[in-house]
């Protein structure tokens, strides 16, 4: 009996920390991203511990922050995707550039366009995190974050796909139609909240006329828009996960 007690004690004390170390690999953790033009971005990384797993970068709308994605990050992570949620420059805790504080409300036109460098910093991080250099990366953006995702997809052919939630036809100099014409990455999903989402509905109507094989549109009727389309609307969340899983299967990953 005494021997059994010591065996139990060994397993409890020895295996417990091991299990915790394993769990730590996939627990959400705060990270810092460095852009090429001097911004320090705060972000949260939800890893999988698997360098072969695909990943999603979630880009919030102007005037918002990464907290918008709280209700959907777990579902994406549970589907087998690593998730990175940054505060874009001038938002949330990402307000420092070269030692000085700046807010997005101070930005001029070119400052908004330069936010594609935030996306590049996020992509660079995911290429290094968990040694995931070859992992496929999807961009999911709400409002301006959607326009930003598509603009980045026009600059880089390395993105596996983009999901845009309530984008605008023209937001802070980023044209949705113009970006689609130059887009050279993976498939695109554009979703809106119907009559509750004027800008998103206009975008879905216009781009739907392009009849592109790599483009899907989705109109939801739950009364939400932006990140809430997949955070508050269960149907929207389910459709997003179906799209992500479908694209992963299509590529054989």
Instruction: Show pLDDT as tens, one digit a residue, over the chain (253 residues).
Output: 444 443 333 333 444 443 344 445 578 999 999 999 999 999 999 999 998 899 999 999 999 999 999 999 999 999 999 999 999 999 999 999 999 999 999 999 899 999 999 999 999 999 988 776 789 999 999 999 999 999 999 888 789 999 999 999 999 999 999 999 888 889 999 999 999 899 999 999 999 888 888 999 999 998 999 999 999 999 999 999 999 999 987 765 4
Instruction: For residue 21, count CB atoms less than 10 angstroms from its CB and return exposed for 0-12, middle for 13-18, buried for 19 or more.
Output: exposed
Q: What's the topology of domain 28-250?
A: Rossmann fold (3.40.50)
pLDDT for residue 84:
98
CA 9 to chain centre: 43
pLDDT given for residue 132 in this prediction: 63
Query: Where along the chain do its domains lie?
Result: 28-250
CA angle 121, 87, 147 (to 5 degrees): 75
Q: Is 175 exposed, middle or buried (0-12, 13-18, 19+ CB in 10 A)?
A: middle
The rounded distance, in Å, linking the Cα atoms of 5 and 70 is 43
Token pair recorded at residue 197: 């989402």
């Amino acid at each position: 009996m005494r021997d059994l007690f010591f065996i139990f004690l060994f397993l409890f004390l020895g295996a417990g920390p091991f299990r915790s170390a394993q769990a730590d690999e996939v627990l959400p953790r705060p990270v810092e991203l460095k852009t090429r033009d001097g911004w320090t971005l705060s972000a949260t990384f939800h890893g999988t511990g698997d360098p072969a797993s695909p990943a999603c970068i979630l880009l919030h709308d102007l005037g918002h922050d990464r907290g918008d994605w709280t209700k959907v990050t777990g579902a994406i992570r549970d589907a087998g995707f690593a998730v990175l949620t940054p505060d874009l420059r001038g938002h949330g805790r990402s307000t420092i550039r070269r030692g000085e504080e700046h807010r997005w409300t101070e930005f001029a036109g070119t400052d908004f366009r330069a936010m594609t460098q935030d996306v590049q910093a996020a992509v660079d991080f995911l290429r290094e995190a968990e040694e995931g250099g070859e992992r496929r990366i999807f961009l999911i953006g709400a409002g301006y974050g959607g326009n930003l995702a598509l603009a980045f997809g026009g600059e880089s052919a390395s993105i596996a796909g983009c999901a845009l939630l309530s984008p605008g036809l023209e937001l802070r100099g980023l044209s949705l139609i113009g970006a689609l014409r130059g887009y050279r990455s993976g498939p695109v999903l554009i979703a809106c909240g119907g009559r509750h989402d004027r800008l998103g509905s206009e975008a879905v109507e216009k781009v739907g006329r392009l009849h592109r094989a790599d483009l899907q549109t989705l109109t939801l009727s739950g009364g939400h828009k932006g990140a809430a389309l997949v955070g508050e609307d269960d149907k929207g969340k389910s459709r997003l996960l179906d799209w992500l899983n479908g694209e992963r299967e299509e590529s054989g990953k």
